[in-house]
Homo-oligomer: A and B are copies of this chain.
Amino acid sequence: MERRLERRDFIKRAALGAAGAATACGGGPDATVSMQAGSVVTGPEVSWRLVTSYPRSLDILNGSPEYVAERVAALTDGRFSIRVFPAGEIVPALQVMDAVQQGTVQAGFTADYYYVGKHPAFALSTGVPFGLDSRQHVAWHYEGGGLELVRSLFRDFGIIVFPCSLTGAQWGGWFRRPVESLSDLRGLRMRIPGIGGEIMLRLGVAVQVLAGGDIYPALERGVIDATEWVGPYDDEKLGFYSVAPNYYYPGWWEPGVTSSLQVSLNAWNELPEQYRQALASACREAAFITLARYDVQNPKALSRLIHEHGVQLHRFSDEILEAAWRESNEYLEEQAAANADFRRVYESWKAYRDEVFPFFAGNELAYASFAFPKIAG
């Protein structure tokens, strides 16, 4: 409701904007009145184009840059405007960072780990297997030095990043038949990209990488046996449940995915300071609100999946989780040994993980494990 009010206020203010701008520098007693009713920002009109890696149908995820645009407009009396283009409208989903680097657009909303080919340590900006949950990732980014380290890597690419979307723990994906043991995983054809795919490969999975729109047909035709995506609200839309109704958790390879606004440093440097502050605020707000939207919509979607679509929930077995834990940690250590930049970011990240996990294993976990199961699903 608050968001709707803000949007309405913004439309009202935009209508007043022209009048306000005309009189703001006009002097005389009426000028002050106009300024209070209308615009108090007199900076230059700035218009940006922002491309995203996601289709419009992922409305919470793609809603993050839309929300950033709304907040920036509200904080600058509409003088700094950002137009959002979903995946494919200007550039393909996985070329967002290139478009920002090349100056095709001023900003992009994407996951930094899509670009590990440019730098392996970008993975740590988004999240890695058995990594920090969303709340812990925010703490490391903002108060544990993580964002500063990540930004030092992006500077060489002419980009400054702002975390602006949290999904919570993603889910373990959809399997045609139950997988109980490591031997069930061996040879299984699963769509899973990124580092999660790397770990699954080490567990014997025949890893496939397919774009979102190609997954369902591949499942239906029997080309793959399993796939992962995001979580109940997003997964429901792609209909995997009708072919692969065994839904696994936890999504140990993506326990707290953080997506970023990647901004061209050239464009950033041209902004008035107040517009920069507005953009920084808007991104922090968007991270906060995106997670809230998932946390309201995911429970409803999961309930529909179970009660209307006959989905079976399964927890991954300890055998699978233990093997994945070992392989994931080994993988990260290997990356750190191979790349000094990776090691520098990883050491900060790992130091925080090793402090915060045992802390959360106490109070927070004791509360969660007593209270949450008290209400039957």
Residues of A that sit less than 8 Å from B by CB: 1-3, 6, 9, 13, 24-25, 27, 32, 35-36, 39-44, 71, 74-77, 79, 130, 133-136, 138-145, 147-148, 168-169, 171-172, 231, 249-252, 255, 272-275, 277-278, 280-282, 284-285, 287-289, 291-293, 295-296, 298-300, 302-303, 313, 315-316, 318, 321, 325, 352-377
Contacts and interface: CB of A to CB of B under 8 A. Distances in A.
Given A133-B367, A367-B250, A143 B289 contact: yes
A287 B289 contact: no
B74 A291 contact: no
Residue of A292, A363, A372 with highest tally of chain B CB at under 10 A: A363
Residue of A136, A284, A289, A352 with highest tally of chain B CB at under 10 A: A284
Copies of this chain, how many? 2
Given A169-B367, A361-B372, A364-B368, 17 more contacts: A2-B147, A25-B27, A25-B42, A32-B44, A39-B274, A40-B42, A40-B76, A130-B374, A142-B288, A142-B289, A249-B363, A249-B366, A251-B363, A321-B370, A325-B374, A357-B372, A361-B373
A292 to B, nearest CB: 4
A373 B318 CA distance: 14
Given A42-B24, A143-B295, A295-B356, A272 B365 contact: no
Contacts of A74: 274, 277, 281
B1 A363 contact: no
